[in-house]
């Protein structure tokens, strides 16, 4: 029996721009958890992590439209909100799937904090755009009143940018480990976790930042002693020269090969690159393997029939 940390991507929550409502998101989750439950029937222990980028954007937009009527919601609280809402959907879909299959399993969502270094260089130069586009005048007002950092974005307008610091530790990792050991399917580290920093006495406080969910998943997987990090995404295999006539799918790659491919620019930032970086980090730190594939291929990929494996 292996312990798997499965990081589900945006396609597992929002399939396309025409299906972004909450019921649409739940329908997408139902399809994904069907494949994950297949792995439970193979007697694997499972922790599920997930992204939250679009959902954070939706809350920011609602907050913007209610400006002057309601208070602004801090970004760390928005991450917590999305952890609860998306965790609820995943948890309910899992429980229903368990019921249909007659599985004696229970799912639980852990609202998760992720410790980052308060001296992380990302805080000095925020570069992760979030939320909607603003005119220059609106941006100047937000920078003056809200103290936001904002940047012009490729001629499309101005956007708020926040830090994306490196995850150091998952605060609730021991809780997750305990729950998994006792047979629960755990949903944790949603959206990369709520970013927090600690003062000299170890007292935590939330910060306005976003954490890459794949990197946070790698940290969580290492901390709970997982046997494999599985990143579920939109493609069945990782490809070199993606989208070109020379595209080539990879069955496996070593850490050294992955680093070379990254240096050669095969993987796009904000797309496949952070997934490869997370897998390299997990494999390097744990000595175990990582796997990248799409939701519907998960059972076959775990059996070695498809997907891309990263090996030491």
The residues carrying an active-site annotation are 10-11, 128, 213, 275
Nearest-angstrom CA–CA distance, 301 and 27: 23
Q: Residues for the chain: how many in total?
A: 312
Nearest-angstrom CA–CA distance, 91 and 48: 10
DSSP conformation class of 12: G
**3-state secondary structure at position 72:** coil
**3-state secondary structure at position 218:** helix
Residue 239 exposure: Cα atoms within 13 Å on the Cβ side: 13
| Residue 26 phi, psi (nearest 5) | -65, -40
Provide the token pair at 198.
């600690």
H helix runs in 42-123, sequence order: 53-65, 75-101
Provide the token pair at 77.
């609280």
């Amino acid at each position: 029996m292996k312990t798997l940390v499965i990081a589900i991507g945006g396609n597992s929550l929002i399939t396309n721009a025409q299906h972004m409502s909450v019921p649409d998101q739940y329908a997408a989750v139902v399809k994904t958890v069907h494949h994950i439950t297949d792995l439970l029937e193979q007697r694997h222990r499972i922790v599920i992590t997930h992204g939250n980028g679009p959902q954070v954007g939706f809350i920011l937009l609602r907050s913007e439209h209610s400006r002057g009527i309601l208070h602004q919601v801090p970004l760390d609280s928005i991450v917590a909100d999305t952890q609860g809402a998306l965790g609820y959907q995943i948890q309910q879909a899992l429980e229903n799937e368990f019921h249909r299959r007659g599985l004696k399993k229970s799912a639980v969502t852990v609202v998760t904090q992720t410790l980052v270094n308060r001296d992380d260089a990302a805080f000095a130069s925020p570069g992760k755009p979030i939320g909607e586009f603003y005119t220059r005048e609106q941006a100047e007002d937000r920078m003056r009143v809200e103290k936001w950092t904002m940047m012009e974005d490729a001629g499309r307008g101005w956007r708020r940018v926040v830090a994306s610091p490196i995850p150091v530790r998952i605060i609730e990792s021991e809780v997750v480990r305990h729950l998994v050991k006792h047979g629960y399917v755990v949903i944790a580290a949603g959206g990369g976790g709520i970013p927090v920093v600690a003062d000299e006495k170890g007292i935590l406080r939330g910060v306005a930042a976003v954490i890459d969910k794949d990197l946070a998943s790698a940290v969580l997987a290492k901390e709970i002693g997982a046997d494999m990090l599985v990143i579920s995404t939109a493609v069945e295999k990782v490809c070199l020269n993606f989208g070109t006539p020379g595209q080539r799918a990879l069955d496996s790659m070593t850490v050294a090969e992955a680093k070379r491919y990254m240096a050669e620019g095969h993987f796009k930032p904000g797309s496949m690159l952070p997934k490869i970086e997370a897998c390299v980090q997990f494999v390097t730190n744990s000595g175990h393997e990582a796997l990248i594939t799409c939701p519907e291929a998960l059972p076959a990929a775990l059996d070695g029939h498809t997907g891309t494996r990263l090996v030491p």
